[in-house]
Amino acid sequence: MDCKNAKVNQFVKESAELLQPDDIVWIDGSEEQIEELRRIACSTGEMIKLNQEVLPNCYYHRTAINDVARVEDRTFICSREQRNAGATNNWIPPAEAYAMTDEIMRGKMKGRTMYVIPYSMGVVGSPFSKIGIEITDSIYVVLNMVIMTRVGEKVMQALGEDGDFVRGQHAKCDLDAEKRYILQFPEDNYIRSCNSGYGGNVLLGKKCFALRIASYQGWKEGWMAEHMLILGVENPQGETKYIAAAFPSACGKTNLAMLIPPEGYRAKGYKLWTVGDDIAWIRIGEDGRFYAQNPEAGFFGVAPGTNEKSNPNAMACTKEGTIFTNVVLKKDGTVWWEKMDKNPPRDAEDWTGKPWDPDSGKPGAHPNSRFTAPARNCPCISPEWENPQGVPLSAIIFGGRRAKTAPLVYQSRDWDHGVFVGSIMASETTAAADGATGVVRRDPMSMLPFCGYDMGDYFQHWLDMGKKTTADKLPKIFNVNWFRLDEEGNFIWPGFGENFRVLEWILKRCENQVGAQETPIGFVPKVDDICLDGLDYEIKPGHKFTKEDLQTILTINNQWWLEDIENIHAFYEKIGKTVPEELRNELTAMENRLKA
């Protein structure tokens, strides 16, 4: 590929000097080149070609056993001043970070090929898209980027001779967990990743660029990069309203983004459309409304728990052109994961490549095993998903995984209160990141691991965005929790497709078509306003979900909330002086209402 952009050529040259590869290959995005890379990856064992009759163009990959999730404690925001990374991010001064990783990465591509991937986040050539160049020595990364972003020649053309881009360098090195670093340099538009081969650490367009770097760019340029799905709900009159929702990793974004409404709603003519499942770039349009765009082109989805009942649309996405990572590999060249169906395969290999005994009590697929599937495969992909302007938002939803305290759904009183609701989000940790799972931690706007600058400044940016338009144009802000448990640890709410019942209430609230109950934390539905028609769910054998159960998960327990408030105070203290006054006042006001 002929590159006329001097800055790109310079970056490639510098990278080659550092990494010392035997060869340099530019990814042009052609089917021939991609096919050749698949062939090489299969010949070295990096990938396995799956049963092409059942899963055409699908491949299988295993990561190293010590390299299965994002590594938050090894992820750094290398801003010039520590104050700009803020108290919730790890920080190393940029000069030190470059020098340290120069040492780690020097010469690490000797005997290897260096791939140069020009990619666009967002539709190629749209004024709202941004371009990146990723350097990598992993064919797995190249093939994933081909699905997750738009790559190749057309991107170079859009970049032109002088266009600017985000520089990303990835080298697998020795997959040494002690020398694994995921570094973002927001002021330099630069990303470095070494000693990992796992998704979120190495597909640099995703969390590193489209969230950490882009959130910083959005702060400077007056827009927002958020860890949000985007969906459209079409009503029987054919009107579509759009919603964006921020849930932490492995807390239900892909599932909500692709849900199938319950039968009763479908019969009336309701439809759900997927715009994106993980990241939203949000700008204010000329009409003053908030427009959300999905910068990605594929889904890097959690495999376990995905099945024909919970998420048939996601299952359909994975039938062609998909890469499966760390799932069970069956003898017939197909794949399996926990809860795919009730027939775990015998004679299969687990995610580590060992023969797997389903009765061993050990999972066959890693809990953070993933599929990488093209968005175009999605049966409910929105006709608007590639609209470069994005889609206008009626509502923004925050949500976490909370066994107690947070009700099924509540609405904030106004924008500023909504920002407060996002800032106090908390969720139990999941397998999507290294470390203990099931621990409740504060995760504001589900951006704790992804915000590229100071969290207090980020809250202020949210407040400022609200001031750029009039109240009637602002999306209404809600909070949901699908994960309330009973005393025995069963999910009380049916979740998945049944979440549509909550979306209906949310959209009715946006249109002023339904009332609500005012509580110390915000507006909660009256129990009769969440439609339960046709719902048939057993919380546990012999206990069908009833209106009383709905009442339970809609009731605000002041004591639980007051306990939570202690933790929120501590979190705000940790962020420090940059927490906006408005949010501190909201916290005091909520505390007073709860004590009253």
184 or 411: CB nearest ligand SPV: 184
86 or 367: CB nearest ligand GTP: 367
CB 497 within 8 A of CB 313: no
Proportion of the chain in helix, strand, coil states, percent, rounded to 5: 35, 25, 45
Q: Pick from 67, 134, 278, 416: which binds Mn ion (CB under 5 A)?
A: 278
Given ligand SPV, ligand GTP, Mn ion, none, residue 66, with its beta carbon under 5 to 8 Å by kind, binds none
The residue type of 116 is: V
Q: How far is the CB of 278 from ligand GTP (least distance, A)?
A: 5
252 or 422: CB nearest ligand GTP: 252
246 or 503: CB nearest ligand SPV: 246
Does residue 363 interact with ligand GTP by CB under 6 A? no
Q: Which residues contact 4 (CB under 8 A, 6 or more apart)?
A: 160, 161
How many CB atoms are closer than 10 A to CB 264? 14
Interface size with ligand SPV, residues (CB under 6 A): 9
Q: Are β-strands 323-325 and 370-374 bridged in parallel, bridged antiparallel, or unpaired? A: antiparallel
CA distance 232 to 244: 9
Does residue 304 interact with ligand GTP by CB under 6 A? yes
CA distance 26 to 17: 16
Q: Are β-strands 240-246 and 391-399 bridged in parallel, bridged antiparallel, or unpaired? A: parallel
Q: Which of 505, 502, 492 is nearest to 552 (CA)?
A: 492
Q: Pick from 496, 523, 571, 572: which binds ligand GTP (CB under 6 A)?
A: 496
Given ligand GTP, Mn ion, ligand SPV, none, residue 275, with its beta carbon under 5 to 8 Å by kind, binds none
The stretch near ligand SPV (CB under 6 A) out of 78-86, 198-206, 327-335, 471-479 is 198-206
CB 222 within 8 A of CB 128: no
Does residue 278 interact with ligand SPV by CB under 6 A? yes
Given ligand SPV, Mn ion, ligand GTP, none, residue 169, with its beta carbon under 5 to 8 Å by kind, binds none
Distance of CA 152 to the CA centre of its chain: 24
Per-position x/- string for 63-102, each x denoting binding to ligand SPV as judged by CB under 6 A, each - no binding: -------x--------------------------------
Given ligand SPV, Mn ion, ligand GTP, none, residue 70, with its beta carbon under 5 to 8 Å by kind, binds ligand SPV
Distance of CA 335 to the CA centre of its chain: 23
> Segment 223-252, which members bind ligand SPV (CB under 6 A)?
249
CA distance 199 to 414: 37
Known active-site residue 173:
no
Q: Which of 246, 266, 270 is nearest to 256 (CA)?
A: 246
338 or 549: CB nearest ligand SPV: 338
Does residue 350 interact with ligand GTP by CB under 6 A? no
Does residue 250 interact with ligand GTP by CB under 6 A? yes
How many CB atoms are closer than 10 A to CB 107? 12
Give SS3 for 52: coil
Of these residues, 173, 208, 251, 380, which one is catalytic?
Answer: 251
Catalytic residues: 251
Binding site for ligand SPV (CB under 6 A): 70, 199-200, 206-207, 249, 278, 300, 432
